[in-house]
Amino acid sequence: MMWFCEVGLHIRTPLKVDLQIRQKHSTRTSHRDRNKNKNKLEGARAQLEQWQKLAEVMPANSLRDFALQTMFDLLITIANRQLSDITSRYALRAVDLKDMVVIDLWNAGE
């Protein structure tokens, strides 16, 4: 009967050691993952701050607005050329940077 206890003790000890090793490995892995996620989060926050600063500066940029308006006008000119190859009835006109209007040339330009 005594040798059963000794065998049980010898079996439990390696199991405890194995369990402790697994727990330490799991803890190290979770710390490593947590640190990786923390670094990613810090990087994302830094990018967010950069974009927020850029967004604060951009609305007051008249050069940007001029460039966008010029490109939009050029785009409409090219689109009207392509449209004239398809039909002579319609044309495009820019209202502002956000809106474009289709003109029906056969209906008194409406």
| pLDDT tens digits for range 43-55 | 888 888 888 887 7
Residue among 74, 88, 50 nearest 42 (CA) = 50
* pLDDT tens digits, one per residue of 20-29: 677 766 677 6
User: Tell me, what amino acid is at 67?
Assistant: A
What does pTM read for this prediction? 0.42
The model's pLDDT over 34-93, given as tens digits with 9 standing for 90+, comes to: 888 888 888 888 888 888 887 777 666 777 788 888 888 899 999 999 988 998 888 988
Rounded Cα distance, 76 and 7, in Å: 88
How far is the C-alpha of 12 from the C-alpha of 18, rounded, in Å? 10
SS3 89: coil
Q: Rounded CA gap, 27 and 41, in Å? A: 21
Judged against a pLDDT cut of 60, whether residue 1 lies above it is answered with no
